[in-house]
């Protein structure tokens, strides 16, 4: 009767290997609509499909209180540690701002070019890092490491997103910014590799060629930060540079991400794509092609601003595409395992720190199953706030034990078990969880 298909701990550094479906799910970041979690698609993405990351936009945020409630739900519903990301660069690109209960912030250009002062940078960065910490957001898709070569570059210079036109100044300000966020246990993401600051067009809108405008000096902030030990995230830009790869833009280029960023520059953190629905990609590649190329290029996480594709789960669609590509020999399981292991390692680092503060430990005992009613298979989720021997058994309506799911010493945390009832007949069953003096019984209905 026992069947453990997928078990991951929420708060501990022991991450048993997931099945292939859930490994691929960890490689996906999605956005979703609304300020509350009422959409069944995102709920299932978190609870069943095991999506690894979500990104929040202004449309998800109304006030600090509402944001905290939302992120608390996200963390509690996810069965693995969840990356919750946001773009909080400062200035125009700031999801937390005066319109939703925060305050206006300086832009990177003001900080790095007008002020160019370490103490001002640190005060500014510390303020925003504090907002993210209070909101339980653990990944800031910032700072911008682009060098301001073209002040009129529509996606960077024009929006005051670059610190400076001097590479070393960009490095300094990125370094101070990152340090302030690290002090609050928040990860960062440098963007947009290999450099968007010289571009004359916007990759949000379409093909962006930097071949004749890009300079090697745009790599300096990345080189110096990596040499200084930076290993959080780097975002791959949808930027075509024929001098590096004459066929593919950086985000889909193995030469750029694996050859240059990993092998030459020595980066061993996580690589995440820029938005996969941006015009530079969606106007030039099919959805399936983009997924295959992005993974084979070396990206660990694919970023999508929505969690739906044709009204259905985008996560499920991407996982299906990748599994088909693996069966066809176009993507290898080794490539998936490389990214999965990097993702889990980074999540372990986050949760190790948080575990010391008990931030992710459940407050009380809980036992649920879904779907319920179920047909043959259901997921059993338990949350336990203390260490001890955990017993989970299933009984039929006359009190006979029909299955033992768990009976072993277990550390505090959240656990998910997949139970297959193929050999049981339709009817009412009771799931009983016992730990120390605590007993919880939950009714489940099997319909065949």
Question: Which residues are part of the catalytic machinery?
Answer: 204, 274
Burial bucket for residue 398 (CB in 10 Å: 0-12, 13-18, 19+): exposed
The 3-state DSSP class for residue 213 equals coil
Distance of alpha carbon 256 from alpha carbon 259, whole angstroms: 6
For residue 111, the number of C-alpha atoms closer than 13 Å in the C-beta half-sphere is: 29
The 3-state DSSP class for residue 439 equals strand
Contact criterion met (CB below 8 Å) for 146 and 95: no
Distance of alpha carbon 89 from alpha carbon 231, whole angstroms: 19
The CA-based angle 289-292-294, given to 5 degrees, is 100
Report the 10 Å Cβ neighbour count for 371: 14
Distance of alpha carbon 55 from alpha carbon 248, whole angstroms: 26
The CA-based angle 345-307-125, given to 5 degrees, is 55
Distance of alpha carbon 428 from alpha carbon 386, whole angstroms: 30
Kindly list the strands in the beta sheet with 28-30, ordered across the sheet, starting from the edge strand earlier in the chain.
Answer: 270-273, 233-236, 187-193, 139-140, 83-86, 53-56, 28-30, 302-304
Contact criterion met (CB below 8 Å) for 45 and 78: no
Contact criterion met (CB below 8 Å) for 126 and 177: no
What are the angstrom distances between the C-alpha of 448 and each of 70, 375, 402, 419? 36, 5, 17, 15
Distance of alpha carbon 317 from alpha carbon 320, whole angstroms: 5
Q: What are phi and psi of 90, to 5 degrees?
A: 105, 155
Q: What are phi and psi of 140, to 5 degrees?
A: -105, 120
């Amino acid at each position: 009767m026992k069947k453990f298909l997928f078990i991951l701990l929420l708060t501990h550094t022991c991450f048993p290997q997931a099945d292939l479906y859930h490994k691929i799910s960890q490689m996906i970041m999605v956005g979703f609509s609304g300020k509350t979690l009422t959409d069944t698609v995102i709920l299932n993405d978190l609870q069943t499909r095991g999506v690894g990351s979500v990104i929040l936009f202004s449309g998800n945020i109304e006030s600090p209180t509402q944001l905290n409630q939302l992120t608390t739900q996200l963390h509690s519903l996810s069965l693995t540690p969840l990356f919750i990301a946001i773009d909080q660069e400062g200035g125009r690109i700031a999801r937390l701002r005066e319109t939703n209960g925060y305050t206006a912030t300086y832009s990177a250009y003001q900080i790095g070019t007008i002020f160019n002062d370490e103490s001002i940078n640190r005060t500014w960065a510390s303020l925003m890092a504090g907002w993210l910490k209070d909101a339980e957001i653990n990944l800031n898709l910032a700072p911008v490491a682009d060098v301001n070569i073209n002040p009129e570059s529509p996606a960077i210079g024009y929006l005051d997103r670059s610190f400076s036109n001097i590479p070393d100044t960009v490095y300094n300000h990125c370094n101070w910014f990152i340090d302030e966020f690290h002090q609050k246990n928040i990860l960062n993401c440098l963007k947009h590799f290999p450099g968007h600051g010289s571009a004359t067009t916007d990759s949000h809108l379409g093909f962006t060629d930097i071949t004749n405008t890009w300079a090697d000096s745009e790599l300096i902030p990345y080189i110096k930060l990596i040499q200084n030990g930076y290993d959080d995230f780097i975002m791959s830009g949808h930027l075509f540079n024929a001098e590096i790869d004459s066929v593919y833009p950086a985000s889909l280029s193995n030469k750029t991400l694996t050859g240059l960023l990993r092998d030459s520059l020595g980066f061993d953190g996580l690589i995440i794509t820029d938005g996969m629905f941006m015009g530079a990609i969606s106007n030039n590649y099919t959805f399936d092609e983009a997924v295959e190329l992005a993974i084979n290029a070396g990206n660990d996480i694919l970023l999508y601003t929505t969690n739906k594709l044709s009204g259905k789960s985008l996560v499920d669609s991407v996982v299906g595409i990748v599994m088909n590509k693996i069966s066809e020999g176009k993507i290898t399981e080794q490539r998936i395992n490389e990214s999965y292991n990097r993702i889990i390692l980074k999540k372990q680092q986050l949760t190790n720190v948080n575990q010391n503060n008990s931030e992710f430990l459940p407050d009380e005992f809980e036992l649920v199953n879904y779907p319920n009613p179920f047909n043959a298979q259901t997921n059993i989720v338990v949350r336990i706030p203390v260490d001890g021997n955990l017993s989970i058994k299933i009984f039929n309506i006359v009190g006979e034990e029909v299955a033992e799911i768990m009976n072993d010493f277990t550390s505090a945390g959240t656990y998910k078990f997949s139970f297959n009832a193929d050999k049981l007949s339709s009817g009412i069953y009771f799931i009983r969880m016992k730990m120390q003096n605590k007993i919880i019984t939950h009714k489940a209905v099997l319909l065949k």
